[in-house]
Structure 1
Amino acid sequence: MNSPTLYLDDMAYAIQLALAPVFLLTGIAGMLNVMAGRLARIIDRGRRVAESPEITAADIAGPLSTELAGLERRRHLASAAITACTLSALLVCTVVATLFLEVLLKLNFKILLGILFTCATFALVVGLAYFLREVHLATMTVRIQTSRSK
């Protein structure tokens, strides 16, 4: 028969194991916040360019067309980064839940836990790669004037 102390020890161990993935969730949440902010700025800039009353059809067909295409590419990359990082967070939550189920049901989920955590890490890497590409595109298209015309 299981003693209550043994059960509490098992739960304490499960909580200790779950702490690392929970800290990972905090980091992912911070990254998602940054990515969502960048996506909002990209969308705002795209709307400002496309809906400006001073812009004519010739402007949109010309140089602004290039800017809008770049903004659309950046929007797609930021959205993909958010999707991959959100998937990573969901997988980490599944890891935490599986850890507790393993203790509660006294089952061996080591292989499942390994697969879930590996998938979570891979999804995070993919999300960060998309984010890096979006940042790279943004820095390549920024125009900073180093001298002022008088």
Structure 2
Amino acid sequence: MPMESHIADISRVIQLAVAPVFLLTAIATLVTTLNNRLGRIVDRRRVVLEHLAADVVNAERTAANTELATLARRSRLVYLSIFSAVLGALLICLVVASAFMAALLTYDLSRLVAGLFVLSMFSLVVSLGLFLREVFLAVSHSAHFRR
């Protein structure tokens, strides 16, 4: 009889782990979006550097250097956002693992699970905030020189 209740506890934990799995999917989508933005920033940086390698007048050189500085800020924001999102995903994985360990060991890890979940949400909020800041920076500096 105790074995059946133990299996029931584990199956209940599996059911509860479904919501964090959906959250992991959402975070993976966010990381994919951030990675795509980072790729666009790198591509744009290459174009600007090629433009600088050609003989350009001082006004264009100044504009290109300003754009390079903006691209560097944007890439740093995206890197930090990716780091924060991945940290949040790792914390969600720890939430699921802790829930399973609690069920297997029949030990109360509810405070640990709650703490890890709160940290994960905080990390996700930071990631989204950095992403929003990068978008605002991209929009406010959208006047590119034309090649």
State TM-score, norm by structure 2.
0.90
Q: CA RMSD in A?
A: 1.8
Residue identity over aligned pairs, in percent, reads 41
Give how far 1:54 is off. Answer: 2.0
Q: Flag structure 1 segments of 5+ consecutive residues without an equivalent.
A: 145-150
Q: Which contiguous aligned blocks of 4+ residues in structure 1 show a shift greater than 4 angstroms?
A: 55-61
* 1:7 counterpart letter in structure 2: H
Give how far 1:58 is off. Answer: 4.4
Aligned in 2, Cα 1:60/1:98: closer, same or farther, shift over 3 Å? farther
Show the counterpart of 1:118: 118
Report how many aligned residue pairs link the two structures: 143
Q: Distance in 2 between matches of 1:86 and 1:128?
A: 12
SS of 1:142's equivalent in the other structure is: coil
1:100-145 CA deviation, whole Å, 9 max, x = no partner? Answer: 000001111011111100000000000000000000111111139x
| Contact 1:59/1:65, CA 8 A, preserved across alignment | no
Aligned in 2, Cα 1:80/1:46: closer, same or farther, shift over 3 Å? same
State TM-score, norm by structure 1.
0.88
* 1:15 counterpart letter in structure 2: I
User: What aligned pairs does 1:72-111 form with structure 2 within 5 A after superposition?
Assistant: 72-111=72-111
Give how far 1:55 is off. Answer: 4.8
SS of 1:62's equivalent in the other structure is: helix
Give how far 1:30 is off. Answer: 0.5
Q: Distance in 1 between matches of 2:86 and 2:77?
A: 14
